A = this chain, B = another copy of it.
């Protein structure tokens, strides 16, 4: 296993990203503060370039490749947000990108990747192995940009934690907890390193969709376990099979716990984000917000940061959820 990244890797990543990405603001709603009896600060990575946080890790990863490696192009597999992050980063470096995407990924995500100049290869997520799809490109000499289990990817996502702790300090508040959507664990592990460095007593929570709570069950068992096949969820961004080796190594040390939320709760959080925050959030991007209603996180009188990790959702899906 590669060495997990530390705070210095995250600081280097933040320098590389400076001026290229959006320093997403902290947003709060007096109504929601009243509802939860605490102060909730939302970090909307929905407003990030490409509509999700994924560009942070992807660009940082591409920065760590030699110019010669980069010139041969990059390849990735992703349901959509990582795909857009890699495609945008490759375009920024002026190199070729090939992205393997599930044929049932949201049309908006596939369309955005193509618009950024990347080549999209679709595959059947239930029948084909994604590694088999990308292997020919790797054999041609293209570098794989993994979705989460990579020190440079984790360090890139961790820059959100650096920003968050600086923004909380500027507001004069100490964070009692940070709540983060979790698929493979790149986002939660990266942020946890930055949060724990600045404030060891701040709790870090990962939130997963029901039936895809591999991190929650892995934490309980003390080792990585996979999700049972045969389930589905509207949270397309978070449907990973199991935690990464590096991300889990970090998360088992840093997390206060992991929480599973239903699709119904994620959809309700999307409606709340629309009504109270005026933010468009995709299902998987809204699970940390949904977890505030789970009762598992102490909110009364506390200050809690919630990461809204992405906003790439099709019009039809979004309209359906808003009208429900």
Identify the A interface with B (CB < 8 A): 22, 25, 27, 30-31, 44, 46-47, 49, 51, 88, 108, 115, 271, 274-275, 277-281, 311, 315-316, 318-320, 322-323
Query: Can you name 7 A-B pairs with beta carbons within 8 Å?
Result: A22-B27, A27-B47, A274-B315, A275-B315, A278-B280, A318-B322, A319-B323
In the complex, what's the smallest C-beta–C-beta distance from A75 to chain B, in angstroms? Answer: 22
B108→A278 contact, CB < 8 A: no
- For the complex of A and B, list the 6 residue pairs with the smallest distance between their C-beta atoms, beginning with the closest: A278-B311, A319-B323, A319-B322, A46-B278, A278-B280, A319-B319
Task: Specify which chain B residues have a CB less than 8 angstroms from the CB of A277 in the assembled complex.
Answer: 47
Q: A115-B31, A278-B47 are in contact. Are A315 and B311 (CB under 8 A)?
A: no
B315→A51 contact, CB < 8 A: no
B22→A49 contact, CB < 8 A: no
Chain B residue with Cβ nearest A48: B278
B278→A274 contact, CB < 8 A: no
Task: Specify which chain B residues have a CB less than 8 angstroms from the CB of A315 in the assembled complex.
Answer: 271, 274-275, 322-323
Complex CA–CA separation, A46 to B276 (angstroms): 10
List the number of copies, as a whole number.
2
In the complex, what's the smallest C-beta–C-beta distance from A270 to chain B, in angstroms? Answer: 11
Complex CA–CA separation, A318 to B324 (angstroms): 12
Complex CA–CA separation, A30 to B55 (angstroms): 14
Complex CA–CA separation, A49 to B279 (angstroms): 13
Of the residues B88, B274, B311, contact of A318 by C-beta under 8 Å: B274
Of the residues B27, B51, B323, contact of A316 by C-beta under 8 Å: B323
Complex CA–CA separation, A289 to B115 (angstroms): 22
| New contact pairs (15) apart from A25-B25, A46-B278, CB-CB < 8 Å | A22-B27, A27-B47, A47-B278, A274-B280, A274-B315, A275-B315, A278-B280, A278-B311, A279-B279, A280-B280, A315-B323, A319-B319, A319-B323, A322-B322, A323-B323
Task: Specify which chain B residues have a CB less than 8 angstroms from the CB of A51 in the assembled complex.
Answer: 278
B323→A108 contact, CB < 8 A: no
Interface centre among A47, A49, A278, A311 (most CB of B within 10 A): A278
Chain B residue with Cβ nearest A30: B49
In the complex, what's the smallest C-beta–C-beta distance from A225 to chain B, in angstroms? Answer: 34
Chain B residue with Cβ nearest A50: B30
Task: Specify which chain B residues have a CB less than 8 angstroms from the CB of A274 in the assembled complex.
Answer: 280, 315, 318
Complex CA–CA separation, A278 to B282 (angstroms): 9
Complex CA–CA separation, A278 to B44 (angstroms): 10
